[in-house]
A and B are shown apart, each in its own frame.
Chain A
Amino acid sequence: MKRSRLFSWFKDISIAKKLYFTVGVMALLIGVELFMLFFSIHTLSSVRAYVEGEGLWSKAQKDASYHLLRYGIWQDEKDYEMFKEFIKVPLGDSKTRQELMKKDPDMQIARQGFIEGRNHPDDVNGMIKLFRRFNSISYINRAIYYWGEAEPAVLKLIPIGDSLHMEINKASPSPEKINELLQKINPITEKVTVSEDNFSFSLAEGSRWLENIILKLLFVIAITVEISGLLLTISVSRSLQNGLSEILNATNSFAKGNLAARAKVFSLDEIGSLAYSFNKMSAKLEQSISELEQAQTKFKGLLESAPDAIVIMDKEGIIKLVNAQAEKLFEYDRNDLLSQSINLLVIDRSKNSSAHQGKHFFKLSHMHRTILNVYGRKKNGNEFPVEINFSPLETEDGLLVSVAVRDISDRKYIKELERKNTELEQFVYIASHDLQEPLNTITSFISLIEEEHKDKLDKEGAVYIDYIRESANRMTMLITDILDYSRIGRKSRFEIMDCNEIVEQVIRDMNATLLETHAKITCNKLPLIKGYPIEIRLLFQNLISNAVKFQKKNVSPVIKIAAFEEKDFWHFTVEDNGIGIDKKHKDKIFVIFQRLHNLRKYDGTGIGLAHCKKIIELHHGQIWVESVEHEGSTFHFTLSKMEENA
């Protein structure tokens, strides 16, 4: 856990810091190594000093023994002096050893002792340190032990020397005594030599051990320095490499079009922040690109959902884009249109030359104008009138022009139809007026003749006059009917009305006829509808009066009116028990002035059902009849629930 925290900390520091850190660790390790080297050299040098010291010590002991022997033999005081001089060396060393063995040694005394032991003053400090530092190490400990063992033996020489000096300086020195004293010297030397050897061995062993240890240590440290340096370098370079290759991969992937490509952020260092910045940039780019794509999709959607055929062209009139409606309108495949000239599809008849129509259209587009007298041309060469609308379109590919093309053949046709209709209405109005005037004259003068010249007419003449009058009246009725028929739906307002009220009113108006014929009318509850009130009233009136009129002799009319609700419309029925209609006349009865019966039997002009049909068509409904001859008829009609224009 701690390691990983350290690891992650290292991961996240800056690259410069990483490098400083790596170099720092290596410098530290090298420092340690140097220190170790220095320490070991120092220690080995101290060992060397001890070896030297031991040499001095042993030489001094041997010289002291030799001079003591000489003194005993030659009794020269000079030798005694020499003895004393040489014995100082082991004495000095002893002083140091004893001092250093104490818990709180006096370094002054210890140093003094070694100097007296003829050791080089530069070596003294190292020797003291080695003694104190390593006396727990077995080799040093043993060496010190052998040193300590040799010391009392050597020091025994001093009393021997003193006794010898006293004996010799006596008035009468005893040669036996002297000899006896001298006899003691050699065993000491022999004994000390053993200890000296042991000391030397131990020290040598210790120094070898130390050498060994130091070599190993140095080796280990060197290896550590190398490995840690290597590891750090690898780790730093790998983390750099990982981060960089991640960014590189992400960049390549992004460049290849994978907009979702992102670099993994491994650390918070410069590479990490580079990756982070790259991610931020690519996210922004992705967003912009997706916004762009969305805008493009939107544009395409708009283009395709437009009700008009849309062709997008450039300045030269070259087609760049078309929508499905354009394909359909011109009956081309879109691939056949792209890169073609607009001239292929649109011709401006007001221009003589067709050569530069593209540019001509482009110029027009700046005026946001709808131009007239333009024709579209289908693949099969058929031309049709179009209305064309230009609007300039700023795009990154430069200025384009969107050309909306609308087929107006229908509109032209409808306009033509409307014009014809108006003309026809006018014609009907004028014609009926002009027809009526002579009729009026006829009826007027017939009435004058009847009034003023009745007595001059014989019976036959009176009947003829009657025929003329009747025919004229009938003609007047026919003309009036035509006029009424042509006026259905004109100037009338679409409104909500209650069918129950309308039927009631119609029945009230027909009261006299109904009483006379003993007609019985039943009416279910009828709905509220939207329509032209005058016309709807006329519809019911015609149907009811027909039901009453076309009745079997001596049978009272029974009429049932009902309405049923359907999904989008109301379905009305008017049922009677009348004479019925032959199947083959089912459609004929709705045609104007079509009569099925003799005037003497059933009068009328034959316009009633034609009115009904026109009224129903005005309301976008349907009217039909179901009938069984001699049993009765049921007239059905439907009225839309929708608003006008439904």
Chain B
Amino acid sequence: MKKKLNCILLIEDNEFTNIFNQKLIKNLDIAEQVYVTESGKEGLDFLFNKGKFESNEINYPTPDVIFLDINMPGMNGWEFIDELKEKKDGEPISSKIVMLTTSPNPDDEQTAKLIREIIAFKRKPLTKIVVNEIITEHFPDYV
């Protein structure tokens, strides 16, 4: 039996979408842990154990996949990636990113292709089929 992914991180400002996506992933039973952050800033805090994720007791794992919403208030998906790269300062980003968008804009799709970490550009709502496709394609050794 293949093993599950260790961790999936959701970055999405819409509460309902987060609830639905979390539920969907849990139902699929493909990851040990699914974390939810509600903004780009919170996502970064999660990755670097800062803010509300600063803790001596829990060691937050590095996510295998990040489902990233583009359109968010404050810091959008692209700004999140830029900020992340800046913080990593040349170090490779070990998480793979799946961009999620409500209204697919061809410009965004082009931008996504230029970023190595982005493995997929998907339209919301997320479905089981889409998630399964991503796993089969990018994580053949899992689940």
Contacts and interface: CB of A to CB of B under 8 A. Distances in A.
A and B physically associate: yes
Interface in A470-499: 479-480, 483, 487, 491
A432 B103 contact: yes
Contacts of A451: 27
B20 A445 contact: yes
Q: Is the interface of A mostly helix, strand, loop or mixed?
A: helix
A441 B20 contact: yes
A448 B103 contact: no
B16 A441 contact: yes
B71 interface: yes
A633 to B, nearest CB: 32
A43 interface: no
Contact of A491 (B16, B20, B71, B106): B106
Interface string B32-55: 000000000000000000000000
A437 B20 contact: no
A440 B103 contact: no
Nearest to A445: B20
B107 interface: yes
Contacts of A444: 16-17, 20, 125-126
A433 interface: yes
A242 interface: no
B124 to A, nearest CB: 5
Given A443-B125, A444-B125, A437 B14 contact: yes
B124 A440 contact: yes
A514 B17 CA distance: 39
Interface string A434-451: 001100110111011001
Contacts of B14: 437, 441
Contacts of B107: 491
Interface in A406-460: 429, 432-433, 436-437, 440-441, 443-445, 447-448, 451
18 contacts: A429-B103, A432-B103, A433-B71, A433-B102, A433-B103, A436-B102, A437-B17, A437-B124, A440-B102, A441-B16, A441-B20, A444-B16, A448-B23, A448-B24, A479-B103, A480-B103, A491-B106, A491-B107
Nearest to B70: A433
A487 B103 CA distance: 12
A440 B17 contact: yes
B20 to A, nearest CB: 4
A429 B20 CA distance: 24
Contact of B102 (A437, A445, A487): A437
Interface residues of B, number: 17
A12 to B, nearest CB: 93
Given A440-B125, A441-B14, A444-B125, A483 B20 contact: no
Contacts of A447: 125, 127
Interface in B38-96: 71
Contacts of A440: 17, 102, 124-125
Q: Considering the complex of A and B, which 5 residue pairs feature the smallest CB-CB distances, nearest first?
A: A444-B125, A444-B20, A441-B16, A440-B125, A436-B102
Interface of A: 429, 432-433, 436-437, 440-441, 443-445, 447-448, 451, 479-480, 483, 487, 491
Contacts of A480: 103
Contacts of B124: 436-437, 440
A483 B125 contact: no
Contacts of A433: 71, 102-103
B76 to A, nearest CB: 12
Contacts of B27: 451
Interface string B114-143: 000000000011110000000000000000
Contacts of B105: 429
Given A441-B14, A443-B125, A444-B125, A436 B103 contact: yes
B115 to A, nearest CB: 19
Nearest to B71: A433
A429 B24 CA distance: 28
Contacts of A487: 106
Contact of B17 (A441, A448, A479, A491): A441
Nearest to B14: A437
Nearest to A429: B103
Nearest to A433: B103
A452 to B, nearest CB: 8
A491 B107 CA distance: 9
A541 to B, nearest CB: 17
A480 B106 CA distance: 13
A448 B21 CA distance: 11
A451 B106 CA distance: 32
A483 B106 contact: no
Given A448-B23, A479-B103, 14 more contacts: A433-B71, A433-B102, A436-B124, A437-B17, A441-B125, A443-B125, A444-B125, A444-B126, A445-B20, A447-B125, A451-B27, A480-B103, A483-B103, A491-B107
B15 to A, nearest CB: 9
B54 to A, nearest CB: 31
B17 to A, nearest CB: 6
A437 B101 CA distance: 9
Contacts of A483: 103
A540 to B, nearest CB: 20
B111 to A, nearest CB: 13
Contacts of A448: 20, 23-24
A443 B102 CA distance: 13
Contacts of A445: 16, 20
